[in-house]
A = this chain, B = another copy of it.
Amino acid sequence: MKRFVVTLRCADRPGIVRATSTAIVALDGNILENDQFTDPVTGQFCMRTRFESETAEVDHVRSTLESELTEFTATLGVRQEDVLRRALVMVSTYDHCLAELLYRREQGDLPVDVVAVVSNHPDVEPLVTRYHVPFYEIAVTNESRAAAESELRRLLSRYQVDFVVLARYMQILSPELCRDLNGQVINIHHSFLPGFKGARPYHQAYEKGVKLIGATAHFVTADLDEGPIIDQDVVRVSHARVPSELVSLGRDVERNVLARAVKLVAEDRVALVGNRTVIFSQ
């Protein structure tokens, strides 16, 4: 039995579900999961369907869906479920998010293929090597920024990367790269956005005396800390926690939120509608 994940996006109109389900019946398929949402602001329709079939092949799934959906000019994604999506992880010196992703993948909790890790520092190489993942150090200075980005682009192409994860990567990507990889770069920001954008959010949180601190996983756009939010979480903190303790407590939230966001994207459960995400997760 093969399993397929189909994602679909188009302007909302009657008949889409019938067309899709007709195609799946034609593929001898049985639907396992089906989620859909119509955005009331944009009128955009999004759908994610997971089905199984003994006979279907991925190309045939795609062509069958396309022919049933011709009238809807839909954006279609088709993936055989056991062909994992390919992620490249970028990191600087804080390794807690990277360690979490690698550990969960090894445990079988994160269905993603981590094809390479890139860092602007050498520190995390031993951790990465231990998990038998290729490691690339690409130093970034003001002078080398353009060259570094070219090297990154070569790796993205060479490893056929589906999406990039910034796991506490402290360098900013150029607006061009942000645009080219729109919806394909996940970042973890160590605050409950939109509160505490920018630097040293835990110190900002301490100054402000908030009673909950948080972390936000979001898609990267050229507009810093403003991209579409994928997931967020918070943890209660008391007045007695000094900034260094907030950093420590925040680390736990960061790694959990990022791991959840990467899992959602790896399973094709995240759709983009304007500046907001739709999360298909029962």
Residues of A within 8 A of B (CB): 12-15, 17-18, 21-22, 24-25, 28-38, 40, 96, 99, 103, 107-109, 130, 192-196, 207-212, 214, 228-234, 238-240, 242, 248, 251-252, 256, 273, 275-279, 282
Query: What's the nearest-Cβ distance from chain B to residue A148, in Å?
Result: 28
Q: Are A192 and B209 in contact (CB under 8 A)?
A: no
In the complex formed, the residue of B with least CB distance to A228 is B209
Query: What's the nearest-Cβ distance from chain B to residue A32, in Å?
Result: 7
Query: What's the nearest-Cβ distance from chain B to residue A106, in Å?
Result: 10
Q: List 23 A-B contacts (CB under 8 A).
A: A14-B29, A14-B30, A17-B17, A17-B21, A17-B31, A18-B25, A32-B38, A34-B34, A35-B35, A37-B240, A96-B107, A192-B192, A192-B212, A193-B210, A207-B275, A208-B229, A208-B275, A211-B229, A211-B279, A212-B234, A239-B279, A239-B282, A240-B282
Majority secondary structure, A binding face: mixed
Whole-angstrom CA separation of A40 from B228 in the bound complex: 34
Q: Which B residues are CB-close (under 8 A) to A17? A: 17, 21, 24, 31, 34
Q: Which B residues are CB-close (under 8 A) to A232? A: 210-212
Q: Are A275 and B25 in contact (CB under 8 A)?
A: no
Query: What's the nearest-Cβ distance from chain B to residue A254, in Å?
Result: 12
Query: What's the nearest-Cβ distance from chain B to residue A244, in Å?
Result: 9
Whole-angstrom CA separation of A277 from B239 in the bound complex: 7
In the complex formed, the residue of B with least CB distance to A40 is B242
Q: Known pairs A18-B18, A18-B21. 11 more at Cβ < 8 A?
A: A12-B30, A33-B36, A40-B242, A96-B107, A108-B248, A194-B196, A194-B208, A194-B210, A209-B229, A212-B233, A239-B276
In the complex formed, the residue of B with least CB distance to A46 is B239
Interface centre among A14, A38, A99, A107 (most CB of B within 10 A): A14
Whole-angstrom CA separation of A279 from B238 in the bound complex: 8
Q: Which B residues are CB-close (under 8 A) to A277? A: 209, 239
Whole-angstrom CA separation of A29 from B14 in the bound complex: 7
Q: Which 6 A-B pairs have the closest CB atoms?
A: A209-B276, A18-B21, A240-B282, A17-B21, A195-B195, A211-B232
Q: Which B residues are CB-close (under 8 A) to A12? A: 30
Q: Which B residues are CB-close (under 8 A) to A30? A: 12-14
